[in-house]
Amino acid sequence: MTAISASMVKELRDRTGLGMMECKKALSEAGGDIEVAIDNLRKSGQAKAAKKAGNIAADGAIIIAQDGNRALLLEVNSQTDFVAKDENFTKFANRVAEVALANNATDAAEIANLKFDDTLTVEEARVELVQKIGENIQVRRGYIVEGEKLATYRHGLKIGVVVAYTGGDEETGKGVAMHVAAFNPAAVNAEDVPAEILAKEKEIAEAKAIESGKPANIVEKMVQGSLDKYLNEVTLLRQAYVIDNEKKVGDVLKAAGLTVTEFKRFEVGEGIEKKEVNFADEVAAAQAEAAK
């Protein structure tokens, strides 16, 4: 039997888009013959799933799984909102969230190798789902929040929030989670805003203030005013509360005796550049695919 080299695995991976383990397995079963391996993959449907992997998956859903004082936010992407609502997609995403939390896994590559059930890994289950649904589906990222108390909130399929806190009550905790979903604060308080972000905001504020031609002492006050305004907009405790915008979040939490120790917000597709395709191009692409 031909020894399976790293270069052979790489070539098959480049030609099919499948993962390294799938390629190594296919080559072993084909006796090291790359062309036979590709034919076998096409027959099994895996090659079809690999072709779908080139399509941009910028839609999908945020899943929240919780076990006691630990909760996982998981983003699973699809190409369309329609598939994100599909029962098969939902079952897959919920199961992946369960196994990821149980194994304390947040990295997509690590999650892919976890056991999905008694027979399949998460990656193998994903490939099967791609074959069944006909769209690219990807497990993109996860994040685990731990705390004395947790509040979770999901706004539709697109936004998920977990807030860790101490003191207070469940109703206020849930209200804070809803607020984070709506206003997307950058940090709990001003001290938690990264120094590099503040430095950039200060640089912008200074440039604008200097252009005004005001004296240096006035410029300094203008810059500080701009920074204060920015911090009011991006820090949780300084924002107007979503449920009662006459109050600041900090005042609401103080009255309830609640302290937020951490929060995390996921929104579907953050940072993914979604490919824009017009209708004519879409029809042409579909016809080309059907002709293959």
CATH number at residue 31: 1.10.8.10
Q: What is the pLDDT of residues 6-19, one digit of tens each?
A: 888 877 776 666 66
Domain co-membership, 172 together with 252:
yes
Domain co-membership, 162 together with 246:
yes
Is it the case that residue 288 has pLDDT exceeding 70? Answer: no
Domain membership of residue 292 (yes or no) is no
Domain membership of residue 168 (yes or no) is yes
- Whole-number percent of the chain with pLDDT over 70: 85
Domain co-membership, 167 together with 249:
yes
Domain co-membership, 152 together with 216:
no
Domain membership of residue 285 (yes or no) is no
Is it the case that residue 70 has pLDDT exceeding 90? Answer: yes
Higher pLDDT, 41 or 151: 151
DSSP 69-137: TEEEEEEEEESSHHHHT-HHHHHHHHHHHHHHHHTT--SHHHHHTSBSSSS-BHHHHHHHHHHHH-S--
pLDDT at residue 279, rounded to an integer:
43
CATH number at residue 131: 3.30.479.20
Domain membership of residue 92 (yes or no) is yes
Q: What is the pLDDT of residues 51-65, one digit of tens each?
A: 555 555 679 999 999
Domain membership of residue 288 (yes or no) is no
Q: What pLDDT band is residue 47 in, cutting at 50, 70 and 90?
A: low
CATH number at residue 227: 1.10.286
Average pLDDT of the segment spanning 191-203: 87
Domain co-membership, 110 together with 29:
no
Domain co-membership, 254 together with 173:
yes
Is it the case that residue 98 has pLDDT exceeding 90? Answer: yes
Spatial contact of 185 and 234, defined as CB atoms under 8 Å apart: yes
- Whole-number percent of the chain with pLDDT over 90: 53
pLDDT at residue 125, rounded to an integer:
95
Domain membership of residue 277 (yes or no) is no
Q: How far, CA to CA in Å, does 137 sit from each of 53, 71, 92, 239, 242? A: 8, 23, 10, 36, 34
Lowest mean pLDDT among 107-116, 145-154, 205-214: 205-214
Lowest mean pLDDT among 27-31, 109-113, 208-212, 261-265: 208-212
Domain co-membership, 48 together with 60:
no
Q: What is the pLDDT of residues 143-179, one digit of tens each?
A: 999 999 999 999 999 999 999 999 999 999 999 999 9
Higher pLDDT, 192 or 42: 192
Count of structural domains, the chain: 4
Domain co-membership, 164 together with 262:
yes
Q: What pLDDT band is residue 277 in, cutting at 50, 70 and 90?
A: very low
Domain co-membership, 221 together with 138:
no
Is it the case that residue 100 has pLDDT exceeding 90? Answer: yes
Domain co-membership, 135 together with 154:
no
Q: What pLDDT band is residue 119 in, cutting at 50, 70 and 90?
A: very high
Domain co-membership, 101 together with 44:
no
Is it the case that residue 1 has pLDDT exceeding 70? Answer: no
Domain membership of residue 199 (yes or no) is yes
Domain co-membership, 100 together with 123:
yes
Domain membership of residue 284 (yes or no) is no
Lowest mean pLDDT among 42-46, 93-97, 146-150, 264-268: 42-46
Higher pLDDT, 285 or 254: 254
Tokens of 66: 């919780």
Tokens of 187: 């940090």
* Domain range for 26: 6-52
